[in-house]
Structure 1
Amino acid sequence: MSERLVLGLLAVWVARVTGDCGTPPRLNNGSPTDAFLGLSSFPLGTKVTYRCYPGYTFTSGSRRFSTCNADSTWTTLRSTCEKLICGNPGEILNGYYEASDVTFGSQAMFYCDPGIEVGECR
């Protein structure tokens, strides 16, 4: 346990001495843009930009970046990725649909009215 603590403190000290930030903040339902994926070194002043995963979008007012500060810490990431709203899945003639939600990943089931053949229900 003490070895881990010493190694952790050493890593923090090395980062501060070399002017480097560690891993950038994590974004739920998103990630840093491709330019930053796989990097392990982030010099002071590095501005990491983020994107939301497919099917998600930034909420209004989100700040889509975090910057490596002079003290080798990251600025607070003020971004949120929320599911896209797909809206009404569409109406069908002689039928109806049921959907518990209209956001990305939700499902809608379409049904024909009683007595209507599938070919007449579109």
Structure 2
Amino acid sequence: GDILDRNGSILASTTEAYRVDADLKTFRRLLESKKLTAEEFAAPLAEILGEEESEIVKKLTAENNGIIIKRKIEKDTIDLLREYIDEEGINFLIIGYDNIRYYPNESFL
């Protein structure tokens, strides 16, 4: 929703966005069963998400069981990611909802 000042002017506005998480336990099982590397998944993910491949590899190879890959993603990017997930049969990525806060007057930057 919007945050307004006492005159009704918008100070901040929230827009729906998306986030991508990875179930790393499932990812490790996938790598083992298909004899693949994290780099083979990182390259297309980095391209779709506009991230550095090395950062995606770092996240995919973390010791955790789950990790946030990226937050505050626009719908058009998520549509491309969903297409990639469907084409490749990927089961370790989780797409969820997130929010982006905008400050129209740049008053809080």
TM-score interval for Structure 1 and Structure 2 normalised by the shorter chain: under 0.3
Structure 1 or 2: larger strand share?
Answer: 2
The structure showing larger relative contact order (alpha-carbon pairs under 8 Å, at least 6 residues apart) is 2
Structure 1 or 2: larger helix share?
Answer: 2
